[in-house]
């Protein structure tokens, strides 16, 4: 399960809208044991594309260091789909770097943001529940 504080969820949706029509991306930090996200690090989409994303390497390093400083771990990645449902594309699956990560996707395809999350292990995609709640919840 992926648990996201409401303020973080709102920041994710705002970033997706701000960067539309390009895909946005960012890193999720929190507790790997619980899947609770307590920080979201916006990252630049180095691909600058409406169809694919690449987390900027400098942003990834900055986020990893900030998470370490706060005693957190990077537990996943988030990106947006601008015109398709929130399901991993074949490219998303092929580029999934860590089988322990959560792969969250926010879609803007139907006029309202829709967030879903997956685990991707050896090419197999499994959806997991997403809970958006209050801070500390």
Mean pLDDT per block of 10 residues along the chain (137 residues) reads 96 97 97 95 97 96 97 97 94 93 94 93 97 78
Closest CA to 105 of 47, 22, 44, 23: 23
Greatest pairwise CA separation for the chain in angstroms: 38
Alpha-carbon distance of 41 to 67, in angstroms, equals 9
Q: Report helix, strand or coil for 93.
A: helix
Q: What is the pLDDT of residue 136?
A: 59
**Which tokens is 53 given?**
């994303």
35, burial (CB in 10 Å: exposed 0-12, middle 13-18, buried 19+): buried
Q: Does domain 2-133 have CATH number 3.40.190.10?
A: no
pTM assigned to the model: 0.94
For the chain, which residues make up each domain, given as ranges? 2-133
Q: What is the pLDDT of residue 97?
A: 83
């Amino acid at each position: 399960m992926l648990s996201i504080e409401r303020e973080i969820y709102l920041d994710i949706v705002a970033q997706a809208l701000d960067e539309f029509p390009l895909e946005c991306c960012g890193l999720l930090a929190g507790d790997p044991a619980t899947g609770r996200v307590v920080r979201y690090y916006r990252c630049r989409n180095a691909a600058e594309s409406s169809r694919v994303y690449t987390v900027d390497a400098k942003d990834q390093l900055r986020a990893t260091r900030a998470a370490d400083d706060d005693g957190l771990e990077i537990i996943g990645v988030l990106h947006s789909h601008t015109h398709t449902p929130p399901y991993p594309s074949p490219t998303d699956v092929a580029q999934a770097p860590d089988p322990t990560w959560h792969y969250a996707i926010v879609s803007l395809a139907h006029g309202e943001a829709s967030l879903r999350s997956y685990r991707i292990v050896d090419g197999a995609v499994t959806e997991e529940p997403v809970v958006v709640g209050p801070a500390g919840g």
